[in-house]
Every structure is written in structure tokens, then in C-alpha cells.
Structure 1
Amino acid sequence: MNIKQLILLAGFVTATLSLASCDDNEPDNKVTTDLASIETGYDGNGIWEDCLNEDSKEIVCNGICFSRDVTVSEYGTYWSGFCLSRSSDVTDYSDDNWLDHQYDVMSGGGVSGKGTPFLIAYWNTMDSPESPSLKISLANGSAFEAESVYVNNTTYGYYAMTKGTAYSKKFEQGDWCKAIFHGMAERVNNEGKIEYYETGIVEYYLCDFRGSGESWKLPSEWEMVNLEPLNAGGNVSFIYLTMESSDTGVFGMNNPSYLAIDRLTIRLTK
């Protein structure tokens, strides 16, 4: 075996080990993201230091990639996709500039507790299925089965729906906002080209005021979302998220298109 073959073999072993289960009690083919295992820096407010770094193209945790995009222009720096945070701030900044506080979750931290890391997901309302802003895939490109994920409201999203903003309404009877998880798989078409098809969807309501007041839902704590329906059409090549809202105008959703996620669990199929 020559040096080049040894290097390739070492790379394969490293990639395989990075996908191993992070819980000794889990089956070998099950992977749950542990955001605390990522070696990175946070600022004094608990915000990921590279959130606005245009060279930081994705977040990789336990072999799972979370997409992101940063645009730098003469008007400022903007991001979409996923951003790490461990902020414990749950203050209502409705009378302040919410964009300075877009990295907070209603529970004050991840599933593990206050001040622990989680992911802020910011959906670009102008994206498309061909180029989603919120995409989740394996680092090695393999297909997988989706199992579950924890979801919560960000403080920005929560208070915008309860009080309204300069750009969005206060949610009332009949209003709603939901996140949609799309499972996607690949196949070869009749022309020999790879194409993607949807394997299933899962909808989660970040706000649901459609029924009577007693049934209204506006989560402020982590809730586990079952992602098994994404596997209905076969193994998943990647997952992407979109959002929909009753408060929608010509340019899309009016209320802030944010949610927080933690502890994504998948099953390896190879």
C-alpha cells in the first residue's frame, strides 16, 4: 500500500469515526448532535464568534452539516441558515433593536439547560428548494434516516408574534406560524442525471391560534418533533426547512422567520 492509499484510508476512518454515536446507550447507527462538543469560541453574550464570518460556510457537529450563508455588502453584513448560540438572555427587546438580540431562545439555553448551546435557524424567505438556506446533511454525503429533533421559539420570534413589530402584526385568533421539515432523496432519471425528490414532510407549529383560546399554542420550552415521516419515500439525502405564516405579504412572511433547534437524531444506513 503506497502513501497516497494510506492517506485516503486514514481519511475514510476519520470520517467514519466522526459519525459514531455520541451516547454510549444509543445503537451504533444512531447519531445525536452534541453541540457542546464543537470546539469554537463565543463572545461575552454567548453568541458564536463566527456567525458573521463569510468564510464560515457550515457548522459540522458529529458528522452532520448545518448550512449557512454570510453576505457582506456596503450596507452591512447579513447571514441566513444556522448559527450557534449559548445565550441565556430571555429579555423582551420589543422597544429596542431586535436584530441585536436575534440569537436568543425562550428557554435561555439548549435542551441541556440554561446557557448550553443550541442552533438559531434563520430562514431566508427568498430561497428555493434548489438552494435552501436551512439545509441539513451528512458530511460524507451518505443517505440517512431522520428520527427526531428538539424545537423552540426564539425570543425575537416569540415576542414579535405576541406583541407585533413595525413590520408584522400581533397574532390574534386564527393566526399561525409553522416550520416545515422536508426530506429529500436522490435518484437517477431516464436521462441518466441525478434529480431530487421529496420523501416526506413534517410540520411544526411555532404558533397556533386557529382554535379556541384554550387550545392556543405558543411554545416557550423545547419540544421533541418526530421526523420519522420524512423517511416515508426512502432514505434521506438531506433535510431542508421552510416556514409559513398567516401574516404573509407580497414579499413573504412578515413576522421574523426564526426558530431554534437542538439534539437532532438520525440513523446511519450504511
Structure 2
Amino acid sequence: MIPRIVAAAALLASLPALAVTVTFEDLTPSTAYAGGGAYENGSALAGSFTSGPLTLTNNYNSSWGSWSGWAFSTTTDITTPGYDNQFSAFAGSGAAGSATYAIAYNDSTIAIPSGYQIASLNLTNTTYAALSMRDGDAFAKQFGGTSGDDPDLFQVVFTGYLSGSSIGTVTFDLANYTFSDPSLDYLVADWMEVDLSSLAAADEISITFTSTDVGAWGINTPTYLAVDNIVLNAVPEPSILLLGALAPVALLRRRR
């Protein structure tokens, strides 16, 4: 009997997990943007929003009109520079031409719901960050400098945590101007898929940024990221696996 149980449990454990994609298309932002579309950045003071099984948090300061954490947006302005256009993805839409996507600002986190594991997500630059790096502004330098030879780099870092302890990181270059041949320098303007399966055991993913453009107050590059299509794998509970393993044994007993 025991070998049958072990074999059945091993088979069930090896089955591919059911993937759930968080697309944000079930959300409707209500704050209109002058350049078209709308966004939601926590000004309603709810403190979070939920799409599918995922809840993302934000903080809004009504005294200053400032926010951090997560927002969601349908704005599509890829030409207007500056802070007023902080909610637009530089790709001009959500991933694969969809309408709605999320914006992560400053240090943000993804709390992984119980019963799920992170698999991947799509990302791109925001228009605010991209134009700041491409052209420079009053607060941040033009990447590459006036000569185009400055070795500038802007990265997003995903760190997985399990019960508060780091289990690994995944780093992605949002702009890379470090090549000896400046013609190879690039600034991400399309939606890119990032594999986060190495962090699957994490119960929380933190999102932080690094940049070569740093001043007295920290990173000068606008620390924004557009995110869409977060893929979570649903993991069967151990009790479900055990029931599945015992089912063939019960059936065998009935036949005898």
C-alpha cells in the first residue's frame, strides 16, 4: 500500500500548477488625466486595491497630495515629460495592448496570497522615468550625458522574502548605457516578461531600484515601474495532495 501512496503523491506533486494571471482589467480608475485615460493612486484612502487573488497596497498623504506603493492606470501619454504624467506606461498601453496596468512607485511590495507562488510578470518603464533618462530634467541627468559615453544604468530589483528572510533576487535593467559601443545603449520602451520563478517560495516580493544617477537625497531617476500580467501559480494544499494519494488505495480496497 505504502509504495502506491508514495507514487500517487509524487505524481500529483509533479503536475503543473494552475496559473492565474492578474491583468488589472477588472479595475476601473476614476481620477481623470488631462492627457487621456485615468488613474487611481490611493486618493480615496482605501489603502489598497484588489485584482484577482492579489491585493496591492498604497499610501496617500492628503495633506501633500503625495503617494507611494501601487496605483493602477489607463493613461497612454508617451510624449509629455514630468511628474504630472507619472501614471503612463512608456509602451503606450497595458501589456499586449490591454487597457489597464499597475504602477509601482518607490519601494513597493507584492504580498503573495496563501496558496499561490509568483511565476512571472510583465514590466516596462513609465513615461515620466523614460523621458527623464532620455532627455534629462531639472532633477535628473540625461543618461549617457551630452557625449553619450557616460556609463549610466537604471535597474529594478525584485527580492523574495519568506517569513522576513531574503531568499534571492532578480534584477532587470530598465535602461543600460554602459556598453563600450554607445549604439548598443537602450531604454526599455516595450512590455517585457521577467521570470520570477526563482522566487517561487517567497511570501512577499519587494521592488526596489538602483541607478547611477544619485544625489544627496538618493536616486535622482524617477523610481517608477509599470507592471502588468502578474502570473501566480496556484499550489494545491498538502491535504488535497494526501486525499489524491489515498484515493487509488480506497478504490483498490473496494474492488477487493
TM (norm. structure 1) is: 0.74
User: Gapped runs of 5+ residues in structure 2?
Assistant: 1-15, 145-149, 238-256
Aligned AA (1:180): V
Q: Distance in 1 between matches of 2:101 and 2:160?
A: 22
Question: What secondary structure sits across from 1:240 in the alignment?
Answer: strand
Structure 2 Cα separation of the partners of residues 42 and 250 of structure 1: 33
Q: Give TM-score scaled by structure 2 length.
A: 0.77
Structure whose residues are more often helix by fraction: 2
1:136 and 2:110 are equivalent in the alignment: yes
Distance 1:258 1:71 in 2: 18
Would the aligned equivalents of 1:84 and 1:117 in 2 still touch at CA under 8 Å? yes
Q: Which amino acid aligns with 1:91?
A: T
Which residue does the alignment assign to 1:13? Answer: none
What is the aligned partner in structure 2 of residue 107 from structure 1?
91
Residues 1:53 and 2:50 are matched in the alignment: no
2: CA distance between counterparts of 1:54 and 1:163?
Answer: 34
Q: Kindly report which structure 2 residues correspond to 1:94-243, keeping only aligned pairs within 5 A, or say none.
A: 98-113=82-97, 116-123=99-106, 133-138=107-112, 141-142=113-114, 144-172=116-144, 173-186=150-163, 196-211=164-179, 212-231=181-200, 235-243=201-209
1:90 maps to a residue whose letter is I
Structure 1 runs, 4 residues or longer, greater than 2 Å off: 38-45
Percent same amino acid among aligned pairs? 25
CA RMSD of aligned residues (A): 1.8
Structure with higher Rg: it is 2
1:198-254 Cα deviation digits (max 9, x unpaired): 1111101110111122331211110101111223xxx21111100010001222101
Q: Distance in 1 between matches of 2:160 and 2:96?
A: 27
User: Which residue in 2 is equivalent to 1:92?
Assistant: 80
When residues 215 and 143 of structure 1 are mapped into structure 2, their CA distance, relative to the original with a 3 A threshold, is farther
**CA–CA separation in structure 2 for the residues paired with 1:265 and 1:117:** 16
Distance in 2, Cα, partners of 1:54 & 1:79? 11
Q: How far has the Cα of 1:28 moved from its partner?
A: 6.2
- State the match for 1:261 in structure 2: 227
SS at match of 1:159: helix
